[in-house]
């Protein structure tokens, strides 16, 4: 179920004129009307947004999925078989743009990145894009795997309609090897290399505080191969609320520590967004107070560098 009344009240409050307004309400209403069978009366499906200055806003909703099995049914009905699916968390998000479902965001209980999981990612990339030549993706992933401190796989944003996949990787040390930078940027004097290196250096400001900040590396593959860009999803190590199925009173000390950590991380990300001009000041100001709302969530600030410069996506919503 999507609580339209609550969303309308938030919009009418006038506190978030850029991030949540009447246009967003009408878009959500339209999606619910177009796909009535998707929205359950018995389940709170929340509402997420991905906002970017260079793209139309996307609206996402939470759905429960089976876990611990090597199968996943895509929105279009196709059933995929992949060893990675047994690591899926129990919720996925479906994101809609202009009333059309375009992305399925899957998150994992992170498996390590090594040869078998690289094969799984290549298989997943083929299912998403139709491109059976995943050699460029495998080469890139093997460069990550060559790092002494192995990465793990945190997410996959699959768009079968747009034939692309974005893969999220995490690790404790955010240093990106020169081999990876050159693989994506070709040479150290290209715009792609310079922009990726620049954004990597900026993100290091947050990477030094990994007790509070969670930084996910985003790589992209489409129907032509690896896309020459690199993204960073900046978020928090801990949510502001107690884990699902628990309350703050279950362990007040731990809850308080994690709540403070979360708030500190949000403040750091918003401050860096202003400093490095990743988003308009109005966005940074509004997202910094977004979580004053009950059940409000700051999902991530995603910064992607390519030959054309940088692109920012703001992921947020209500749980």
Q: If you write DSSP's letter for every residue of 247-312 in order, what string do you get?
A: -GGGGHHHHHHHHHHHHHHHHHHHHHHHHTT-S-HHHHHHHHHHTTSTTEEEEEEEEEEETTEEEE
Q: Is the pLDDT of residue 172 over 70?
A: no
List C-alpha distances in Å: 21 to 12, 27, 266. 7, 10, 22
- Per-residue pLDDT, 174: 64
Decide: helix, strand or coil at residue 30: helix
For residues 153 and 85, the answer to whether their CB atoms sit within 8 Å is: no
pLDDT tens digits, residue range 29-72? 999 999 988 987 666 788 999 999 989 999 999 999 999 999 99
Q: Which two tokens stand for residue 151?
A: 């990465």
Query: What's the chain's average pLDDT?
Result: 91
Non-local (6+) Cβ contacts of 245 within 8 A are none
- Per-residue pLDDT, 149: 63
Q: Is the pLDDT of residue 312 over 80?
A: yes
- Per-residue pLDDT, 130: 97
188: pLDDT confidence band, cut at 50, 70 and 90?
Answer: confident
pLDDT tens digits, residue range 90-145? 999 999 999 999 999 999 999 999 999 999 999 999 999 999 999 999 999 999 98
173: pLDDT confidence band, cut at 50, 70 and 90?
Answer: low
CB burial readout 309-319, b (16+ within 10 A) else e? ebbbbbbbbbb
- Per-residue pLDDT, 308: 94
**Percentages of the chain per state (helix, strand, coil), in multiples of 5:** 40, 30, 30
Whether this prediction's pTM lies above 0.85 is answered by yes
List C-alpha distances in Å: 259 to 184, 242, 294. 37, 8, 14
Residue 237 or residue 41, greater confidence: 237
Instruction: Give the mean pLDDT of 246-258.
Output: 85
Residue 50: HSE in the Cβ half-sphere, 13 Å Cα cutoff: 25
- DSSP labels for 123-150? HHHHHHH-----HHHHHHHHHHHTSSS-
155: pLDDT confidence band, cut at 50, 70 and 90?
Answer: very high
Give bridge partners of residue 96 from the DSSP assignment. Answer: 59, 101
Q: Is the pLDDT of residue 168 over 90?
A: yes
List C-alpha distances in Å: 73 to 20, 81, 82, 286. 31, 9, 11, 36
Work out the percent of the chain whose per-residue pLDDT is above 90. 67
- Per-residue pLDDT, 148: 60
Residue ranges of the alpha helices (H) in the chain?
A: 4-13, 22-34, 115-129, 135-145, 178-185, 191-207, 252-275, 281-290
- Per-residue pLDDT, 222: 98
- Per-residue pLDDT, 189: 86
Q: Is the pLDDT of residue 221 over 70?
A: yes
C-alpha span between 301 and 106 (Å, rounded): 17
Non-local (6+) Cβ contacts of 172 within 8 A are 149, 210
Q: By mean pLDDT, which of 84-93, 198-207, 222-231 is the weakest?
A: 198-207
Identify which of 147-156, 162-171, 203-212, 288-297 has the greatest average pLDDT: 162-171
Measured between alpha carbons, how far apart are the two ends of the chain, in Å? 11
Give bridge partners of residue 92 from the DSSP assignment. Answer: 63, 106
Distinct helix (H) and strand (E) counts, the chain: 8, 13
C-alpha span between 105 and 59 (Å, rounded): 12
């Amino acid at each position: 179920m999507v609580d339209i009344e609550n969303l309308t009240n938030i919009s009418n409050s006038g506190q978030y004129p850029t991030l949540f307004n009447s246009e967003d309400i009408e878009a959500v209403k339209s999606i619910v009307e177009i796909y009535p069978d998707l929205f359950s009366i018995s389940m709170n499906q929340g509402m997420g947004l991905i906002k970017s200055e260079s793209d139309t806003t996307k609206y996402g909703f939470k759905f429960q999925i089976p876990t611990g099995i090597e199968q996943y049914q895509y929105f279009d009905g196709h059933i995929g078989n992949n060893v990675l699916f047994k690591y899926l968390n129990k919720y996925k998000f479906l994101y809609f743009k202009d009333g059309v479902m375009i992305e399925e965001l899957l998150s994992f209980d992170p498996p390590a990145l090594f040869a078998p999981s690289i094969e799984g990612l290549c298989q997943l990339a083929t299912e998403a894009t139709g491109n059976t030549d995943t050699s460029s993706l495998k080469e890139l992933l093997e460069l990550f795997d060559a790092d002494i401190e192995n990465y793990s796989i945190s997410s996959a944003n699959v768009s079968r309609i747009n034939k692309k996949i974005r893969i999220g990787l995490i690790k404790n040390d955010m240093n990106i090897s020169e081999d990876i930078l050159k693989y994506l940027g070709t040479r150290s004097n290209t715009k792609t290399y310079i922009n990726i290196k620049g954004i990597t250096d900026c993100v290091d400001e947050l990477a030094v505080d990994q007790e509070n900040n969670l930084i996910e590396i985003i790589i992209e593959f489409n129907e032509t191969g690896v896309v020459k860009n690199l993204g960073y999803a900046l978020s928090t190590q801990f949510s502001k609320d107690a884990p699902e199925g628990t309350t703050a009173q279950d362990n007040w000390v731990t809850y308080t520590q994690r709540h403070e950590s979360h708030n500190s991380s949000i403040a750091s990300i918003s401050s860096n967004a202003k400093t490095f001009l990743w988003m308009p000041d109005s966005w940074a100001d509004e997202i910094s107070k977004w979580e004053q709302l009950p059940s409000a969530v700051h999902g991530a600030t995603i910064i992607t560098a390519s030959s054309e410069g940088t692109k920012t996506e703001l992921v947020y919503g209500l749980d």
